Chain A
Amino acid sequence: MIKIDVINLNIWFGNIYAIKNLNIQVLKNEILTIIGPANSGKTTFLRMLNRLNELESNFKMDGLIKLDENNIMEMSQEKLRSKVGMVFALPTPLPLSIFDNVVYGLKIKGVRNRKKLEELAEIALKEAYLWDEVKDRLHTQAVKLSGGQQQRLCIARVLAIRPEVILFDEPCSGLDPISTAKVEEAMLKLKKDYTIILVTNNVKQAARIGDRTAFFLNGKLIEVDKTEKIFTSPSNPKTDDYIRGKFG
Chain B
Amino acid sequence: MRNPKTTQKIAFFFLFLSAMLVFLPVIFIIFVIIQKGIGAINLNFLLDVPRNGMKAGGIFPAIVGTIYLVFGAIIFALPVGVLAAIYLSEYSKNNYLNRIIRLAIINLAGVPSVVYGLFGLALFVNFLKFGVCILSGSLTLGIMILPVIITATREALENVPKIFREVSLSLGATKWQTIRYVVLPNALSGILTGVILGISRAAGETAPILFTVAAFYLPYLPNSIFEQVMALPYHLYVISTQVPNIDEKIKYGTALVLLLLVLFMNLIAIILRHKFRKKKSW
Contact of B171 among A90, A95, A143, A161 (CB under 8 A): A161
- B99 CB–A CB distance under 8 Å: no
Indicate if the CB atoms of B167 and A94 lie closer than 8 Å: yes
Indicate if the CB atoms of B172 and A86 lie closer than 8 Å: no
Indicate if the CB atoms of B166 and A95 lie closer than 8 Å: no
- B7 CB–A CB distance under 8 Å: no
User: Closest residue to B94 on the A side, CB-wise?
Assistant: A57
* Most chain A CB neighbours (cut-off 10 Å) among B164, B166, B182: B166
User: Closest residue to B167 on the A side, CB-wise?
Assistant: A92
* Nearest CB of chain B from residue A135's CB, rounded to whole Å: 22
* Inter-chain contact total with CB atoms closer than 8 Å: 65
- A78 CB–B CB distance under 8 Å: yes
Indicate if the CB atoms of B169 and A81 lie closer than 8 Å: yes
A50 to B94 CA separation, bound complex (whole angstroms) = 25
User: Closest residue to A51 on the B side, CB-wise?
Assistant: B169
Indicate if the CB atoms of B163 and A161 lie closer than 8 Å: no
In the complex, which residues of chain B have a beta carbon less than 8 angstroms from the beta carbon of A78?
172-174
Indicate if the CB atoms of A50 and B177 lie closer than 8 Å: no
Contact of A52 among B93, B169, B173, B177 (CB under 8 A): B169
What is the number of residues of chain B that contact chain A, defined by CB distance less than 8 Å? 22
- B274 CB–A CB distance under 8 Å: no
A107 to B281 CA separation, bound complex (whole angstroms) = 22
- A147 CB–B CB distance under 8 Å: no
Indicate if the CB atoms of A94 and B182 lie closer than 8 Å: yes
User: Closest residue to B185 on the A side, CB-wise?
Assistant: A95
User: Closest residue to A76 on the B side, CB-wise?
Assistant: B174
A88-108 interface (Cβ within 8 A of B): 88, 90, 92, 94-95, 104-105, 107-108
Contact with A along B151-172 (1 / 0, CB 8 A): 0000000000001111111111
- A204 CB–B CB distance under 8 Å: no
Chain A interface (Cβ within 8 Å of chain B)? Answer: 50, 52, 55, 57, 77-79, 81-82, 85-86, 88, 90, 92, 94-95, 104-105, 107-109, 141, 143, 154, 157-158, 161
7 pairs of A and B residues whose beta carbons are closest in the complex: A82-B172, A105-B171, A86-B170, A108-B173, A81-B172, A143-B281, A78-B172
Can you list 17 A-B pairs, Cβ within 8 angstroms, ordered by A? A52-B166, A55-B165, A57-B94, A77-B169, A78-B172, A79-B172, A81-B171, A82-B172, A86-B170, A94-B182, A104-B181, A105-B171, A108-B168, A108-B172, A108-B173, A108-B181, A158-B171
Chain B interface (Cβ within 8 Å of chain A)? Answer: 93-94, 163-174, 177, 181-182, 186, 279-282
